[in-house]
Structure 1
Amino acid sequence: MGRSRLFDETEVVRSARQVFWELGYEATAVPDLEAATGLNRSSIYHHFDSKRGLFDAAVESYLDDMIRPRLAPLLLAEVAPSALDTYLQGLRRALVDEPTALSQNGCLLLNATGSALGHEAGLQAVISRYLADLRAAVDAGVAAARPELEAAERELRVTTCTGLVFAAMAIVRVDREAAGGMIDAARAAVRAGAGAGPATAAQLRS
């Protein structure tokens, strides 16, 4: 018979996630995970197979706790016209205005692409799905906010907004203000009318 699980897996994975997030996958050692989770090496390997298995669980935890709830209002059957701007404003607060793990450490997934894991098909597939979900959410948000746009114009704004969100999450741990500027630019790209200049950052934050 297998050994019974005597710990809260959700909390263990969240504790491990914070270590991976702060140190990076390659710099995180098993003793770091033991200290954070309260599990010994044998328990970690028994329940998660490996350090990589625990990291994979941490990634899913990151998506479930940090990413999917933000995107959920943009993936409803009926999306509010303000949903995309609300999402972008909330992301800006998390990146720039509040001392969150995201503002301090950047995106857990995008950070991992700079490690040896970035060459692995498994992580690449997770990031591709994340990008597809983000793009679908932004597309729905642009369609709700700007129903008058022609297909080509809508596609351009979706691509611009999605790219700026990704860029902001990648750069935030190096330059928080630059990340905020990218989110402002994403909001402006959605709002701008044909032939009109984008709104200023100050107008967007008002």
Structure 2
Amino acid sequence: MARPREFDEERALEAARDAFWEHGYEGTSTRDLVKYTGLTQPSLYNAFGDKRALFRRALEHYLDHTLRSRLARLEDEFTPALAVTAYFAEIIQRSGSDIGQRGCMLVNSVLEKDQHADGLQEAIASELAEIKGFFHRSIVAAQKRRDIPKGISADDASAHLLTLLLGMRVLARIGPDVELLRSAVEVSLATLGLPRLREAENSKRSK
């Protein structure tokens, strides 16, 4: 009979997430994970597997509590077109208040070369596809509502918005220039016929 675990798995996972988020996958050593979680190396790997498996669990935890919950809330609260704009408004706000410039854990992972060596590329690509999927279904739904022009390709628009998002998150790590981010987003929103940032911000304040 297996012995029950004598630690809080959720807290350990949060601590591992913070280690990877702070140092990156490549830069996080086993010693770092032991330090952050307070667990011994055998306990850590018995519970979560090797470093790659632990990183994937930590990334999933991060996405569940940030990206996925945010997308579900936006799709519930706003029209499809306004949900996209509100998403970017929140990213700009978070980038501007990211004093430690940790950025987005998912985007940080995209930039690491070690993801290729450790077979994480497919997993990370799958997570990015979730964001692109949100953009795609929002564009399609907005077109059905006639909120944006039908002549715009939903595939092209969602790819463009994902590229914009990745660029924003990288720029924010260099230095959170909110006005620069707003300018870049406003051009894309106008090109795609989506609501402007001010409309999303005013809508949030009125709720």
> Shared topology, TM-score over 0.5?
yes
Residues 1:112 and 2:109 are matched in the alignment: yes
Deviations 1:48-94 (A, max 9, x none): 12222221211111111121112224666x95442111111111111
Contact 2:80 2:141 in 1 (8 A): yes
Cα 1:61/1:40, change in 2 over 3 Å: same
Alignment partners' CA distance in 1, 2:88 and 2:110: 24
Q: Per the alignment, do residues 51 and 127 of structure 1 end up closer, same or farther by CA in structure 2, a change over 3 Å counting? A: closer
Task: After TM superposition, give the deviation of residue 192 of structure 1 in Å.
Answer: 4.1
Shift of the 169–83 alpha-carbon distance from structure 1 to 2, 3 Å rule, reads: same
CA RMSD of aligned residues (A): 3.2
**For residue 108 of structure 1, what is the amino acid of its counterpart?**
M
Indicate which of 125, 148, 164 corresponds to 1:128: 125
Q: TM-score scaled by structure 1?
A: 0.78
Closer/same/farther in 2, CA of residues 160 and 193 from structure 1, 3 Å limit: closer
Unpaired runs of at least 5, structure 1: none
Q: Percent identity?
A: 29
Letter in 1 for 2:94: A
Say whether residues 1:188 and 2:187 are aligned partners: yes
Partner deviation per Cα, 1:125-184 (whole Å, 9 max, x = no partner): 22222222111211233344553412445544333222101111233211321x763454
Letter paired with 2:58: A
- Pick closer, same or farther for the CA change 1:99–1:131 going to 2, 3 Å: closer
Unaligned runs of 5+ in 2: 203-207
TM-score (norm 2): 0.77
Cα 1:193/1:52, change in 2 over 3 Å: closer
Whether contact under 8 Å (2:95, 2:172) holds in the other structure is yes
Contact preservation (8 Å) 1:88, 1:187: no
**Which residue in the other structure is 2:63 paired with?**
63
Contact 2:75–2:83 (Cα < 8 Å) also in 1? no
Q: Distance in 1 between matches of 2:11 and 2:74?
A: 28
Q: How far has the Cα of 1:187 moved from its partner?
A: 4.1
Number of aligned residues: 197
Q: How many Å apart are 1:10 and its aligned residue?
A: 1.4
The runs of at least 4 consecutive aligned structure 1 residues that moved more than 6 Å come to 201-206
Structure 1 counterpart of 2:11: 11
Q: Which has the higher contact order (CA 8 A, sep 6+)?
A: 2
SS in 2 for 1:91: helix
What is the CA deviation profile of residues 20-43 of structure 1, one whole-angstrom value per residue up to 9, with x for unaligned ones?
111122222222222211111110
Counterparts in 2 of 1:68 and 1:140: CA distance versus 1, 3 Å: same
Alignment of 1:18-167 (within 5 A): 18-73=18-73, 79-96=79-96, 98-99=97-98, 104-120=101-117, 122-145=119-142, 147=146, 148-167=148-167
